[in-house]
């Protein structure tokens, strides 16, 4: 275990965790965890979009006895905050995914473990599975080129006790991550995607002159809607699609009878100038018309952001970078602190807006910001 397990003095918010982590992480890890695609417009726009939504509180409403509980996939959650899948967490802190999992469990938050975790999926599940108060435990899946390996990975997740598969659908290839390229990003020795050990190499394709290594090679293995049907036939677990922004894709997901959707632009890490998740969420919620849960991630930094997401129809939210910065700062304690801060801020925002529960939010809670006087 690392000695970096004490909360830094003065770190009292998620933005403060980020600012402190900038001095804790080396340039290689900072480029990976903090960077985005291309000019990073989407990376910056995600939090700004939540900030731009104004809360219109109601006063003198009875809020005593309120709570933050929500229901999700047949489970009652103490609050609507989950940890999004983030790869290679041992780059941020030696405790890596185990630290994040223990913190999530202690704070009753859901956890989505990345396919590219730097800790075996079984070890993460073993660390928290028996905790009766933990949140949901889900496994994020990147479909690999070998179907037999995919089935083996699914069986491992099922046997370990994961309760859903979260299929990332918005990254058939990596984004143009200028910050990583400028830093010469590389995985440090001893850190790898351990759950992909044993994956057979991709079959080599002979490319004729002028052919594209992307379109004529790599993208032959990219998933399509046909693979969604195949995946659902291979597992007893609900399949949640992560990376949905367009309402037509949401409607197709309803037709495919998936278990849920996550409105996400991959934290601005794949394609730059995508819609912000705050702006994309309402149309996706309308498209599914209550037929399945819709979660959202991207740019959530305050409890007010969580409340706004719920007011826009989200079933729950996920955070990514904020808890990684907490992990970098203080290991499991830092992750727990991030979750607790966000939940406390959510309760405060609810109380000050006259919202007793997340199921009974006041009408007209969200509106455009007031225009400054001329």
CB 127 within 8 A of CB 96: no
Residue of 17, 20, 93, 266 marked catalytic: 266
**CB distance 138 to 240 below 8 Å:** yes
User: In terms of residues, how long is the chain?
Assistant: 374
Is the Cβ–Cβ distance between 141 and 258 less than 8 Å? no
**What string of DSSP letters covers 71-98?**
EETTEEESSSEEEPP-S-GGGT-TTHHH
Maximum Cα–Cα distance across the chain: 72
Q: 193: which 2 tokens?
A: 């995607």
**What's the half-sphere exposure (Cβ side, CA atoms, 13 Å) at 79?**
25
User: Which three-class secondary structure state does DSSP give residue 69?
Assistant: coil
C-alpha–C-alpha distance, residues 245 and 222, integer Å = 18
Q: 3-state SS of the chain: helix, strand, coil percent to 5?
A: 40, 10, 45
What's the CA angle centered on 306, arms 305 and 308, to 5 degrees?
A: 65
To the query of whether residue 266 is one of the catalytic residues in this protein, the response is yes
Residues taking part in catalysis: 266
């Amino acid at each position: 275990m690392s000695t970096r397990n004490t909360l830094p003095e003065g770190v009292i918010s998620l933005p403060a965790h980020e600012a402190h982590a900038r001095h804790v992480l080396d340039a290689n890890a900072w480029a990976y965890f903090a960077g985005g695609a291309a000019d990073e417009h989407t990376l910056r726009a995600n939090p700004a979009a939540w900030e731009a939504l104004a809360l219109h509180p109601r006063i003198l409403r009875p809020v005593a006895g309120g709570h933050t509980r929500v229901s999700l996939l047949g489970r009652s959650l103490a609050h609507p905050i989950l940890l999004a899948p983030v790869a290679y967490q041992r780059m941020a802190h030696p405790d890596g995914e185990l630290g994040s999992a223990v913190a999530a469990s202690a704070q009753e938050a859901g956890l989505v473990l990345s396919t590219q975790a730097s800790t075996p999926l079984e070890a993460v599940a073993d660390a928290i599975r028996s905790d009766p108060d933990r949140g949901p435990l889900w496994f994020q899946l990147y479909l690999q080129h070998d179907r037999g390996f995919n089935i083996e990975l699914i069986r491992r997740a099922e046997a370990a006790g994961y309760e859903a598969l979260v299929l990332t659908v918005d990254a058939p290839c990596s984004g143009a991550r200028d910050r990583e390229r400028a830093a010469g990003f590389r995985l440090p020795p001893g850190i790898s995607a351990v759950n992909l050990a044993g994956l057979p190499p991709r079959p080599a394709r002979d490319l004729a002159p002028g052919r594209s290594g992307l379109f004529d090679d790599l993208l032959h293995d990219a998933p399509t809607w046909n693979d969604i049907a195949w995946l659902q036939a291979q597992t007893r677990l609900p399949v949640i699609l992560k990376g949905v922004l367009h309402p037509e894709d949401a409607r197709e997901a309803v037709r495919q009878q998936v278990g849920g959707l996550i409105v996400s632009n991959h934290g601005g890490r794949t394609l730059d100038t995508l819609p912000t998740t705050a702006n994309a969420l309402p149309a996706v919620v309308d498209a599914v018309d209550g037929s399945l849960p819709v979660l959202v991630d991207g740019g959530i930094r305050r409890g007010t952001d969580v409340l706004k997401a719920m007011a826009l129809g989200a079933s729950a939210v996920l955070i990514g970078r904020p808890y990684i910065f907490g992990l970098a700062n203080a290991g499991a304690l830092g992750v727990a602190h991030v979750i607790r801060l966000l939940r406390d801020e959510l309760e405060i925002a609810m109380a000050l807006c006259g919202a007793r529960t997340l199921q009974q939010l006041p009408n007209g809670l969200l509106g455009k910001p007031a225009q400054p006087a001329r």
